[in-house]
Structure 1
């Protein structure tokens, strides 16, 4: 087990509960970037073949993190929105087709589908508020539904969905399942084969502990060539290194979605961060994160005037807990917490806390004590 206090040398007094937004890098990621920068400054790209080996290791780690059948199913992309756009503007839509989404999606997983309106595609928004959100989503899928687009964990409420059930239901209905996994990947185990999703995507800068500007896109192998490409360049070709070749075709692998030069700086950091998650093990990551979530939940329930807006059932959550405090307007409470070095976010009806597996339990206790003081005035 790595020394987590050494891996996350956060500033003294900082209470970081904002991994659902942007995570701090582990030390090994910052050191990988430092070494890369120094190498660039002194040697330029002399050792580019070694850089490609790091990128190759990153693809392998992404494959294992998703339990994808092959690295050929993984594309390295700029962000979740880019991957969603590859799907939305790659499928051969027909006027009258429908996309089912939830009423709690982050804008990235709503706007991209609404942008298809000029093509005659209808977006069906479904409430997740009932006792059976999966049932509601599947019931909303009719004969014209082509795709169900859903976040595995909702960004504001923290509601986690049963992807295996959704995958089985979509398969039965002949509907493609597209999963925005940004609030689960790196926090809990994730398995594209078990949930039988057609597409999955996530940024690296949240629970995967990496930098902004680099994410992953899983595309099931039988669907790769069904997505029309809209970006072309040297890197997405089957024979990418043969610059004199005049006949060309897109790569048979998911590299077909990577049109130009890779984000090698981001790859150095993300590969190091995923190495840490692998060393710890995703089962242990999930178990330790749940311990912190339970500590937060029980502590907030003890504070008079605190209202929780996230699921209390551990099977229904990942690393997000949103709450409000009687007598405090959301913006004012957020400002006071930030002034006390509690790094969090305003989401939904309240304040969103999102610890990670390495978060010191003392940080959570200090934050709960501060909230109790604020409640008492």
Structure 2
């Protein structure tokens, strides 16, 4: 558990806390000063020696970003791809699956809209099955097991939605997927950085996340984890000279690690910032972060529940730092602007 001294240190290392009370972490958190400084320092040097030159000069630091992300989620660095956002990472995995007519997807009710649109847009038109919630608002695990058939191709779960603190039972779901032999894709866009993710305990085959939310990294960063044993089963839907090698006039070979889902061009300054953010989160201790986030979420919910004309919309037995509520007779944008005006 964090001490008052720890909290004071984190706040001292985040200049924005001296100016605003920032509640929009589900959108984009305030980056720490070390993240900000790492990005700016990289760009300053790039402006002096050139983009390709600094990439060569600081290759070890750029490579260390994969190690930092892997350490944070208990993965191996060759299982990590760095992409521009969580949706790109999620789609890189989803589109790489060998979909056939009649294949089925099982998802939860809190799935992200962009993910659901990808199901609908896919040319193979997979059958979509949605896990019902139980009386507490949690995924009904017994009902979930009954959704499987011999056509079930993928279980795609949103770990925590963009509009609620609800935490899906990722480990329970992973154990069932493992037993059934079905691919498991976890959208950890909102949970990465606030919840202690361990891909070995969760048993997911693929996991996508962003850098800008609770990881407190730069915007325009994300990553994809793909279990080493699953990598040979997935074919990237696009390739270039980074993800593949042109071996002959009519032949090529795709690289064997998760970087086959990347393309050659990328924001190297932001990659350094993502590395610093992953290290910062790991060194803070994700169990401590999760305890703190839960405590602050409860404090906010308890306070809001005592106020007239406010309705909370959280559901589920385990809640994180995202708190959803409405104010009677006032639109959500109006509430947002009212709060913004008051810092």
1:29 to 21, 24, 35: 35
How much is the aligned-residue C-alpha RMSD, in angstroms? 2.3
Equivalent position SS for 1:321: coil
Matches within 5 A, 1:151-162: 151-162=158-169
Give the match for residue 221 of structure 1. Answer: 228
Instruction: Supply the distance in 2 between the matched residues of 1:261 and 1:338 (Cα, whole angstroms).
Output: 36
Give the match for residue 301 of structure 1. Answer: 305
2:342 to 340, 343, 368: 340
Give the match for residue 67 of structure 1. Answer: 74
1:31 CA drift (Å)? 0.9
Contact 1:134–1:165, Cα closer than 8 Å, also in 2: no
Structure 2: 5+ residue stretches without partners: 1-5
Instruction: Supply the distance in 1 between the matched residues of 2:177 and 2:247 (Cα, whole angstroms).
Output: 45
1:47 CA drift (Å)? 4.2
Instruction: Supply the distance in 1 between the matched residues of 2:120 and 2:316 (Cα, whole angstroms).
Output: 32
Equivalent position SS for 1:234: coil
Equivalent position SS for 2:324: strand
Equivalent position SS for 1:303: coil
Instruction: Supply the distance in 2 between the matched residues of 1:331 and 1:234 (Cα, whole angstroms).
Output: 45
Structure 1: 5+ residue stretches without partners: 342-377
Judging changes above 3 Å, is the alpha-carbon distance between structure 1 residues 262 and 13 closer, same or farther for their aligned structure 2 residues? closer
> Is 1:93 aligned to residue 95 of structure 2?
no
Instruction: Supply the distance in 2 between the matched residues of 1:14 and 1:325 (Cα, whole angstroms).
Output: 22
> Is 1:291 aligned to residue 298 of structure 2?
no
Judging changes above 3 Å, is the alpha-carbon distance between structure 1 residues 244 and 166 closer, same or farther for their aligned structure 2 residues? closer
Equivalent position SS for 1:249: strand
Give the match for residue 325 of structure 1. Answer: 327
Instruction: Supply the distance in 1 between the matched residues of 2:17 and 2:159 (Cα, whole angstroms).
Output: 32
1:331 CA drift (Å)? 3.3
Matches within 5 A, 1:1-377: 1=6, 3-10=9-16, 12-44=18-50, 45-68=52-75, 70-116=76-122, 118-128=123-133, 130-131=135-136, 132-135=138-141, 136-237=143-244, 248-311=252-315, 313=317, 316-341=318-343
Contact 2:212–2:219, Cα closer than 8 Å, also in 1: yes
Instruction: Supply the distance in 2 between the matched residues of 1:157 and 1:128 (Cα, whole angstroms).
Output: 14
Instruction: Supply the distance in 2 between the matched residues of 1:139 and 1:340 (Cα, whole angstroms).
Output: 50
TM-score (norm. length: structure 1): 0.82
Instruction: Supply the distance in 1 between the matched residues of 2:10 and 2:40 (Cα, whole angstroms).
Output: 20
1:104 CA drift (Å)? 2.5
Instruction: Supply the distance in 1 between the matched residues of 2:54 and 2:335 (Cα, whole angstroms).
Output: 50
Contact 2:132–2:140, Cα closer than 8 Å, also in 1: no
Contact 1:104–1:128, Cα closer than 8 Å, also in 2: no
Instruction: Supply the distance in 2 between the matched residues of 1:109 and 1:222 (Cα, whole angstroms).
Output: 24
* Number of residue pairs matched by the alignment: 333
1:141 CA drift (Å)? 2.7
Equivalent position SS for 2:106: strand
1:134 CA drift (Å)? 4.1
Q: Deviations over 1:246-266 (max 9, x none)?
A: 875221111111231332111
TM-score (norm. length: structure 2): 0.89
Judging changes above 3 Å, is the alpha-carbon distance between structure 1 residues 165 and 244 closer, same or farther for their aligned structure 2 residues? closer
